[in-house]
Chain A
Amino acid sequence: MITTNFVEQSSLINDQLGGRMKEVVEYVAQFIVNSPDKVKVTEENSPEGVLLRLEVDPDDKGRVIGKQGRVAQAMRTVLRVAAAKKGTRVQLEII
């Protein structure tokens, strides 16, 4: 009973953690793409931290990556702060 509760709670907290970071990516991506409705961010929790996958319209892919990956790199840097605040790690994949 207690164990189940604990697992439930910790996964709930984890969801919230990932949820916030997901919002960071969604917020930035929706601003800079031409098709904001096609922005989709999924998250996966693993022992190494949170894995975020950002999916956008193929035409917008260049916008979220940026010249020489500058936008993607900036998003990752900012996400690292968000992750550190929660004591976890984060990876961002653009697919």
Chain B
Amino acid sequence: MESQESPKNQESQEFSAKTVEEATKLALEKLGAKREDLEITVLKKGKSGILGLGAEEARISVRSVSAATTADVPKVARDILSELLEKMGVKASVEIVEPPLASMTPDSKVVALDITGDDLGILIGRRGQTLMSLQYLINLLVSHKTKARVPVMVDVEGYKRRRYEALQSLAERLADQVKSTKRAVTLEPMPANERRIIHLALSNDPEVTTQSVGAGEGRKVVIAPKGRETHPQTPRRATESDFRPESRERQA
């Protein structure tokens, strides 16, 4: 995400008092707002001085990022995406859905949207590139509209959800293999969001570590046994069949 500060619609106000806490309290009272609705920047910490000598007031800048706009994110995001798709000439409907579990950390808050309609492969693109661009634009537009920092995940007919679930089980199977062979495994090159799924899936596994190696388009995850020197140059490459859990089960 880009963190551009746009000055429009962002009236910030300044408050001063003896301490930062008091200035904050004053700001909350004056604005009739709750702490979580405000973004507070400390301009001056303030000094108490000795017996009031050399004392300096604390000064803070307060900007409203009201909880209401954060709560609005799912609907705003859905409406913006629908409108953009309509302008693109894509006939589809957009629904607010539960984010895929595989992509979640315990404290992550994500809004997930799913696009459904006919012939939407065009929206996914090669390795999901088009979908990523669409998601990037939607995040940009939504954050400009709501001023909230809630990431929006855009999916097409559950494409990412299925992909994430497949990657999660792939990660677990390969981790088992790494443990029994004590040899590192390198996965195929993947985009950042997919590598993240692998890292997340194995983050709580005490017996293996994951690491991304390579640069740009060719960046890939290495799953290595923990606790000894690994040789990432000699790992077995994951083959295409590793990505298809069904075919593997049928063989077994």
**Chains A and B belong together in one complex:** yes
Q: Is the CB of B87 within 8 A of A23?
A: yes
For residue B192, CB closer than 8 A to chain A, the reply is no
Query: What mask results when residues 39 to 68 of chain A are scored 1 for a CB within 8 Å of chain B, else 0?
Result: 000000000000000000000000100110
Q: Say how far A21's CB is from chain B's closest CB, in angstroms.
A: 8
Instruction: From known contacts A20-B87, A31-B141, A81-B122, infer whether A67 and B133 are also in contact, taking CB-CB under 8 Å.
Output: no
Q: Is the CB of B136 within 8 A of A70?
A: yes
Could you name 15 residue pairs across A and B whose Cβ atoms are closer than 8 Å?
A23-B87, A24-B88, A28-B137, A28-B140, A31-B144, A32-B141, A34-B6, A71-B137, A74-B134, A74-B136, A78-B130, A81-B88, A81-B122, A82-B88, A82-B89
In-complex Cβ contact of A27 among B4, B84, B89, B134 (8 A)? B84
Q: Say how far B159's CB is from chain A's closest CB, in angstroms.
A: 15
* Bound Cα distance A20, B136 (Å): 21
* Contact surface of A with B, Cβ cutoff 8 Å: 20, 23-24, 27-28, 31-32, 34, 63, 66-67, 70-71, 73-75, 77-78, 80-82, 84-86
The listed residue with most B CB atoms (<10 A of its CB), out of A67, A85, A86, is A85
Do most interface residues of chain B lie in helix, strand or loop, or is the interface mixed? helix
Count residues on chain B whose CB falls below 8 Å from chain A CBs: 24
* Bound Cα distance A28, B142 (Å): 11
> Which A residue's beta carbon lies closest to that of B134?
A78
- In the complex, chain B residues whose CB is within 8 Å of the CB of A74: 133-134, 136-137, 140
- In the complex, chain B residues whose CB is within 8 Å of the CB of A63: 4, 6
* Bound Cα distance A27, B47 (Å): 49
Q: Is the CB of A77 within 8 A of B130?
A: yes
- In the complex, chain A residues whose CB is within 8 Å of the CB of B137: 28, 71, 74-75, 78
Q: Is the CB of A77 within 8 A of B125?
A: yes
Given A74-B136, A85-B90; 9 other pairs, CB 8 A cutoff: A20-B89, A28-B141, A34-B8, A71-B140, A74-B137, A77-B130, A82-B87, A82-B89, A82-B90
Instruction: From known contacts A63-B4, A77-B129, A78-B133, infer whether A32 and B87 are also in contact, taking CB-CB under 8 Å.
Output: no
> Which A residue's beta carbon lies closest to that of B135?
A74
For residue B7, CB closer than 8 A to chain A, the reply is yes
- In the complex, chain A residues whose CB is within 8 Å of the CB of B75: none
In-complex Cβ contact of B122 among A23, A66, A85 (8 A)? A85
* Bound Cα distance A70, B1 (Å): 10
Q: Say how far A10's CB is from chain B's closest CB, in angstroms.
A: 18
* Bound Cα distance A71, B89 (Å): 20
Query: What mask results when residues 98 to 127 of chain B are scored 1 for a CB within 8 Å of chain A, else 0?
Result: 000000000000000000000000110100
- In the complex, chain B residues whose CB is within 8 Å of the CB of A32: 4, 6, 140-141, 144
> Which A residue's beta carbon lies closest to that of B88?
A82
Q: Say how far A64's CB is from chain B's closest CB, in angstroms.
A: 10
- In the complex, chain B residues whose CB is within 8 Å of the CB of A84: 122
For residue B25, CB closer than 8 A to chain A, the reply is no
Query: What mask results when residues 1 to 31 of chain B are scored 1 for a CB within 8 Å of chain A, else 0?
Result: 0101011100000000000000000000000
Query: What mask results when residues 208 to 231 of chain B are scored 1 for a CB within 8 Å of chain A, else 0?
Result: 000000000000000000000000
For residue B145, CB closer than 8 A to chain A, the reply is yes
Q: Say how far A38's CB is from chain B's closest CB, in angstroms.
A: 13
Query: What mask results when residues 135 to 175 of chain B are scored 1 for a CB within 8 Å of chain A, else 0?
Result: 01100110011000000000000000000000000000000
